[in-house]
Structure 1
Amino acid sequence: MSIIEKAASRIDRQRSAATASPVGQIEAAALHSATEIPTVTVADTVIHDTVHAIPAAPAIANEQPAAPKVSTRRVELDLARMRDLGMVTAAGGRTSLLEDFRIIKRPLLQRAFGERKPGEKPGNLIMVTSSLPGEGKTYTAINLAMSIAMELDHTVLLVDADVARPSVLRTLGLPPQRGLMDILVDDKLDMGDVLLRTNVDTLSILPAGTSTPRATELLASSTMSNLVNEIANRYPDRIVIFDSPPLLLTSESRVLASHMGQIVMVVEAQTTTQHAVKEALSQLEGFNNVNLIYNKTRDLPGIEETYDYHYG
Structure 2
Amino acid sequence: MSIIEKAAGRLEPNKAAVVPPIDATIVTPVVERKHEIRAEKKAALEELGKTNTRKVEIDIEQLHRLGMVTPDGARTSIAEEFRLIKRPLIEKAFSQKGKPIHHGNLIMVASSLPGEGKTFCAVNLAISMAMELDHTVLLVDADVARPSVPRYLQIRAESEASEIGLMDVLLDDNLDLADAMLKTNIDKLTLLRAGRSHHRATELLASQSMIALLSEIADRYPDRLIIFDSPPLLLTSEARVLASQMGQIVLVVEAESTTQHAVKEVLHQLKACQNVNLIYNKAKTLSNGDYYGRYYG
TM-score (structure 2 length as normaliser): 0.79
Aligned pair partner of 1:128 in 88, 92, 109: 109
Aligned pair partner of 1:228 in 186, 210, 214: 214
Q: Any unmatched runs of 5+ in structure 2?
A: 1-38, 46-50, 158-162
Mapped contact 1:291–1:310 kept (Cα < 8 A):
no
Larger RCO (alpha carbons 8 Å, 6+ apart) = 2
In the TM superposition, 1:179-190 aligns within 5 A as 179-190=165-176
Which residue identity lines up with residue 86 of structure 1 in the other structure? G
The CA RMSD measured in Å over matched residues stands at: 1.8
Match of 1:96 in 2: 77
Which residue identity lines up with residue 143 of structure 2 in the other structure? D
Aligned pair partner of 2:128 in 138, 147, 150: 147
**1:216/1:228 Cα in 2 relative to 1: closer, same or farther (>3 Å)?**
same
How big is each residue's C-alpha offset from its partner over 1:92-141, in whole Å with a ceiling of 9 and x where there is no partner? 621000000000000000000007868x5310000000000000000000
How big is each residue's C-alpha offset from its partner over 1:158-212, in whole Å with a ceiling of 9 and x where there is no partner? 0000011111112211135110000111111111111100011200000000000
Match of 1:67 in 2: 42
Mapped contact 1:197–1:205 kept (Cα < 8 A):
yes
Larger CA Rg, structure 1 vs 2: 1
Match of 1:272 in 2: 258
TM superposition shift of 1:296: 0.6
TM superposition shift of 1:286: 1.2
Give the SS at the match of 2:123: helix
CA distance in structure 1 between the partners assigned to 2:58 and 2:292 by the alignment? 24
**1:279/1:310 Cα in 2 relative to 1: closer, same or farther (>3 Å)?**
same
CA distance in structure 2 between the partners assigned to 1:196 and 1:207 by the alignment? 8
CA distance in structure 2 between the partners assigned to 1:136 and 1:254 by the alignment? 18
Match of 1:217 in 2: 203
Give the SS at the match of 1:162: coil
Aligned length: 247
Identity rate of aligned residues, in percent?
62
Which residue identity lines up with residue 71 of structure 1 in the other structure? N
TM superposition shift of 1:301: 7.1
Aligned pair partner of 2:239 in 253, 261, 266: 253
Which residue identity lines up with residue 259 of structure 2 in the other structure? T
Match of 2:248 in 1: 262
Aligned pair partner of 2:65 in 69, 76, 84: 84
User: Within the alignment, does 1:286 sit opposite 2:261 as a pair?
Assistant: no
TM superposition shift of 1:82: 1.1
How big is each residue's C-alpha offset from its partner over 1:279-304, in whole Å with a ceiling of 9 and x where there is no partner? 11111111111000000111437332
CA distance in structure 1 between the partners assigned to 2:279 and 2:212 by the alignment? 30
Q: Any unmatched runs of 5+ in structure 1?
A: 1-63
**1:114/1:206 Cα in 2 relative to 1: closer, same or farther (>3 Å)?**
same
User: Within the alignment, does 1:111 sit opposite 2:92 as a pair?
Assistant: yes
TM superposition shift of 1:65: 3.7
**1:73/1:103 Cα in 2 relative to 1: closer, same or farther (>3 Å)?**
same
Mapped contact 1:121–1:259 kept (Cα < 8 A):
no
Give the SS at the match of 1:288: coil
Mapped contact 2:139–2:192 kept (Cα < 8 A):
yes
Aligned pair partner of 2:286 in 300, 305, 309: 300
**1:252/1:200 Cα in 2 relative to 1: closer, same or farther (>3 Å)?**
same
CA distance in structure 2 between the partners assigned to 1:181 and 1:65 by the alignment? 22
In the TM superposition, 1:19-34 aligns within 5 A as none
Farther-moved stretch of structure 1 (273-282 vs 156-165):
273-282
Match of 1:164 in 2: 145
